[in-house]
Amino acid sequence: MRINAIIIDDESMARSLLNAMLTNHCPEIEIVDECKDLASGVKSIHKNKPQLVFLDIEMPGHSGLELLDFFDEKEVDFSIIFTTAYNHYAIQAFKLSAVDYLLKPIEPEELENAIERYKKNTDKKDYSVLKQNLSDTSPLKIGLPTSNSIKFVNVDDIIYLKADGSYTHVFIKNGISVTVCKTLKYFEDILISSPGQFFRCHKSYIVNISTISDWVKSDGGYLILSNGDQVSLSSEKSTELLTLLNIAKR
């Protein structure tokens, strides 16, 4: 199956390298155009109707996300793989938003993995969530992939996460829970990159610190959360939690 794609990147070398890498490692991808800026990228999408767009997130004078401002929602019938050489905060936003990205310099294996993910899941993505997560003023949202959809929830609404083998149960305010085919380590890498909000209190649990209502020190130690659920607290995590909560040990 041939997949028509375009590359939008202001650096000619970056465009050439990505094109060559796709030719060598992902021959099913056919690059129908290379564009050096947002304006030419918009024109090319209208003209060539690509299935896939490789989009540099940062170009002089523009954010790659501004591309979406030139299309009505129903016109966004293409998928985007973002490319970036920028900071950890941006990468956290990509992960939270459940969209694909490639970190420059692009590694062949990562490119191949991104193409495989695209071929397995061509469902329409909600890129507006990524816009919110890249904004300092909007509440962060996280995409929770389920068997047939991606559920977006405010990070602040998560009470805790519980490991279940290669799955994770995410417990949300208002009594909602979502089971995700991701390990707890996957969520730890995303959520605990912002210190002070989430805490891995046990090998099986991550908690939203703001939802802790009680710390019971008997019976091995456990936490009571705002929804009444109890989660275990590892003894070696007690001192770290005390520091985070900024209280004196009694």
Residue 28's identity, in one-letter code, is E
pTM of the model: 0.64
Quick one: average pLDDT of 77-100?
A: 79
Confidence class of residue 217 from pLDDT cuts 50, 70 and 90? confident
Residues 6 or more apart whose Cβ sits within 8 Å of residue 166: 181, 182, 183
DSSP classification of residue 235:
G
Two tokens at 57? Answer: 């997130």
Encode pLDDT of 83-94 as tens digits: 988 666 567 778
For residue 45, give the nearest of 25, 68, 26, 61 by alpha carbon. Answer: 68
What integer pLDDT is reported at residue 226 of this predicted model? 93
pLDDT for res 227: 94
pLDDT digits 0-9 by tens, 101-154: 898 889 999 999 999 989 987 677 777 777 777 765 555 788 898 877 788 898
pLDDT at 40 over 90: yes
Residue 250 has a pLDDT of: 45
| Region of poorest pLDDT, from 7-16, 149-158, 164-173, 200-209 | 149-158
Q: Taking the domains of the chain in order of start, what are their residue ranges?
A: 3-133, 141-245
**Per-residue pLDDT at 200:** 92
Would you state the pLDDT for residue 249? Answer: 44
Strands 176-180 and 167-172: antiparallel
The per-residue pLDDT for 35 is 95
Sequence-ordered strand ranges (E) for 36-93? 52-56, 58-59, 62-63, 79-84
Fold of 141-245: OB fold (Dihydrolipoamide Acetyltransferase, E2P) (2.40.50)
Q: How many residues does the chain have?
A: 250
* Residue 209 near residue 161 (C-beta atoms within 8 A): no
At residue 89, the pLDDT reads: 56
183: helix, coil or strand?
coil
Q: Are 5 and 35 in contact (CB under 8 A)?
A: no
Domain 3-133 has CATH 3.40.50.2300: yes
pLDDT at site 248: 37
Q: Which residue has the higher pLDDT, 138 or 27?
A: 27
CA angle 245–190–178, rounded 5-degree value: 90
Q: Would you say 99 and 125 are in contact if contact means Cβ atoms under 8 Å apart?
A: yes
The confidence score (pLDDT) of residue 193 equals 60
* pLDDT of amino acid 243: 78
With tokens 């941006």, the residue in question is 90
pLDDT, mean of residues 3-17: 94
Phi, psi of 222 (to 5 degrees): -155, 165
Q: Per DSSP, what are the bridge partners of residue 4?
A: 30
For 172-216, the pLDDT digits (tens) are 998 889 999 889 998 988 887 655 689 999 999 999 999 999 999
